Amino acid sequence: MPRRQTKKTRLIYCEGAHDKTFLDCLKSIYASYACNVDIKRGAGGDQIHLAEEAVRRGYSYDMKYLKIDGDRDAEEMDEAERYASGNGLIVLKTIPCIERILINILEPSRVVNSWNSLRLKRYFERHHIPENKRTDVRAYKVIFTKEILDEAKNRLPELKDLIDIF
């Protein structure tokens, strides 16, 4: 009789509700039977606090990821990344924030790399998913289909890194 394989466990610890909702959308599309991925979100604070929380909550997982936005000052980012990496977390950084990737997925020809986080968030909420639906995974699943994501992951290494976790 063949031996049962133990599922690998993975934690993605992210900053907030919007990040979590998009990651939940990715999970619903790309989840694998070979591993179990839990997505948890932080309760606010700076990036260092987020990294500390991720370490505390991730002790029992086989693989641990910290998904952070890169829109904080360099000293805070460096300290958070050092702490996370030194404690077994793989850091996934979106620069400046997740909304840039979301816009790049849906509008590949729109150049938004120089936009700040606030402008990216406002644009995304005005043109794609309104703020009051940003935590509804169904709103994401309507526009972020597998076909669109598969095409975009070839253009966007940050997206490919996220999808590969599942």
Tell me what pLDDT residue 56 has. Answer: 94
Tens digit of each residue's pLDDT (9 = 90 or more) over 90-100: 999 999 999 99
Q: How many Å separate Cα 143 from the centre of its chain?
A: 17
pLDDT band per the 50, 70, 90 thresholds, residue 34: confident
8-165: which CATH architecture? 3-Layer(aba) Sandwich (3.40)
Using the predicted structure, report yes or no on whether residue 4 has a pLDDT greater than 80: no
Residue-wise pLDDT for 42-84, tens only, equals 987 789 999 999 999 999 999 999 999 988 889 999 999 999 9
Whether the predicted pLDDT of 39 surpasses 70: yes
Tokens for 153?
A: 């992951």
Every domain of the chain and the residues it spans: 8-165
> Residue 7: its pLDDT value, please?
82
The whole-number pLDDT of residue 45 equals 79
Q: What tokens were used for 3?
A: 């031996």
Residue (of 138, 92, 97, 95) closest to 121 by Cα position: 97
User: What distances in angstroms separate CA 49 from CA 17, 71, 74, 117, 166, one per listed residue?
Assistant: 17, 15, 15, 20, 25
User: Residue 44 has what pLDDT?
Assistant: 74
Report the alpha-carbon distance of residue 149 to residue 8 in Å, rounded.
24
